[in-house]
Amino acid sequence: MGTYQRPDGWEILGDPSRRAIVECLAERPRAVGELAETLPISRPAVSQHLKVLKDAGLVDDEAAGTRRVYRLNPAGVSALRDQLDMFWKRTLQGFEEIVEDEGKS
């Protein structure tokens, strides 16, 4: 049971708004206001989500005049990808043994 404790990636992508933001930024970098227009939530809410994503290393931000452009961080994304994959590896590993055993019967 390695899973349990530690703020992992599931908490981050567990929120629909956050997933939407990530998908949105995957398409192209965007300013906060742009994101807020697209999503059904207020701009401050977007800001808060971006903070979470930034702390997790998933996005980078860059000042551009009065605007602030956010983009996906390749390293962060693949790191989180790997982290989630680890769960499946561990799970499916022991799991396939069971399936095989059932096939023998």
Partner DNA sequence: ACGAACGGTAAGCTACGACTTACCAATAGG
Partner DNA sequence: CCTATTGGTAAGTCGTAGCTTACCGTTCGT
CA gap 14, 82 in Å, rounded: 16
Please give the single-letter amino acid code of residue 78.
Answer: S
Give whichever of 16 and 66 is closer to a second copy, judged by the CB atom. 16
Binds a second copy (CB under 8 A): choice among 43, 55, 82, 88: 88
Max Cα–Cα distance, the chain, nearest Å: 68
Instruction: By CB under 7 A, tell whether 65 contacts DNA.
Output: yes
Q: Which does 67 bind (CB under 5 to 8 A by kind): a second copy, DNA, none?
A: DNA
Q: Which does 22 bind (CB under 5 to 8 A by kind): a second copy, DNA, none?
A: a second copy
**DSSP per-residue string spanning 9-34:** HHHHHTSHHHHHHHHHHHHS-EEHHH
Give whichever of 33 and 95 is closer to DNA, judged by the CB atom. 33
CA gap 26, 21 in Å, rounded: 8
Q: Is 56 helix (H, G, I), strand (E, B) or coil?
A: coil
* Binding residues vs a second copy (CB under 8 A): 1-5, 10-11, 13-14, 16, 19-20, 22-24, 26-29, 38, 71-72, 74, 77, 81, 84, 87-88, 90-95, 98-99
